[in-house]
Amino acid sequence: MAPLVLTVDDSRTMRQMLKAALEDAGYDVIQASDGVEGVRSLDEVTPDLIITDINMPRLDGFGLIEHVRMQPERSSIPILVLTTESDAAKKDRARQAGASGWIVKPFDPVKLVSAIRRVISVA
């Protein structure tokens, strides 16, 4: 069974690009358009990895990360932040919330898959 990745991003184009890159690399993908949908998805599945944007309506990536980390049964799921943000303070905030890594958009599919393999193998 292929590892399952939950992608959370409010950009339809970004979700499509992520899905294509991840499926080409052999991952199963479920998607959510913001943090609220991401949280709801976790009621149905437990992914092997979460990739989230930071800036989203309703519930941003920081809130999603904090929500996941507060749930003992999901607290060890690796979470990669994929965002246009490059601010050191935001990176630090994401790390403190429990993010496993940070990738700046636009992403290189090869580097993304490499980062995923690193964090999934550590988990």
Kindly list the structural domains of the chain, giving each domain's residue range(s) and its CATH number in brackets, ordered by start: 4-122 (3.40.50.2300)
Q: What is the pTM of this model?
A: 0.94
Q: Is 104 strand, coil or helix?
A: strand
What confidence score (pLDDT) does residue 122 get?
56
What confidence score (pLDDT) does residue 106 get?
86
Beta bridge partners of 105: none
How do beta strands 49-52 and 4-8 pair? parallel
User: Which two three-digit tokens encode residue 89?
Assistant: 């303070």
Which residues in the chain come in under a pLDDT of 50?
none
How do beta strands 101-104 and 4-8 pair? unpaired
What confidence score (pLDDT) does residue 21 get?
96
